Structure 1
Amino acid sequence: MSALDDLKRDLTKLRDEAKVQVHLGTMEAKQEWEDVETKWKHFVTQVGLHRSGADITAALQNLGNELRHAYQRLKKAL
């Protein structure tokens, strides 16, 4: 299993946890959720391309880390 696969698995868990909390949260949290979901969809779409080159892999790692921080921020805010 690659590092990106591990990252995707971790992000899926964080996403599921945050999704439940956002459902019960404020409008501000719901807006941030929508913004993060756009990035999540991009990440999931691009994960399969990580074998295309180091630049794409680095960009996906950065996006994955950004998603991780956003989901953690959402969980803490609620």
Structure 2
Amino acid sequence: MNLQDELHKLSEKIKQYRDEARVQMHLAREDVKDEWDDLEKDWERFRHKMDDILHDTEDAGHEARETAHRLGEDLKSGYQNIRKKLK
């Protein structure tokens, strides 16, 4: 699996975690809501970076793809953390 495939798979998993967490947000305490708000800002940055990389794959440098991958992994962990707090 190449890095672009991995990024696409990571993006889909993040979207799934995000959607699941959003459904449970009405039950969340205020501190979890603050964490959610911070993650939403990072989500938007990640989405823009992914759009840039996926639409311009040939010109996207390895460093840009690696940065997107690290940001995606951080987001995935953040959404997983929120999901655990909400259960």
> TM range, normalised to the smaller chain?
over 0.9
TM-score (norm 2): 0.84
Letter in 2 for 1:28: D
Report the number of matched residues. Answer: 78
User: What root-mean-square deviation, in Å, do the aligned CA atoms of Structure 1 and Structure 2 show?
Assistant: 1.2
> Which one has the largest radius of gyration?
2
Give the structure, 1 or 2, with the largest relative contact order (CA under 8 Å, sep 6 or more): 2
TM-score (norm 1): 0.93
Which ranges in structure 2 are unaligned for 5 or more consecutive residues?
A: none
Match of 2:20 among 17, 20, 23: 17
Which ranges in structure 1 are unaligned for 5 or more consecutive residues?
A: none
Identity %: 32
Q: Does 1:59 align with 2:67?
A: yes
User: Deviation digits for residues 38-67 of structure 1, max 9, x if unmatched?
Assistant: 000000011022221100100000000000
Q: Which runs of 4+ in 1 moved over 6 A?
A: none
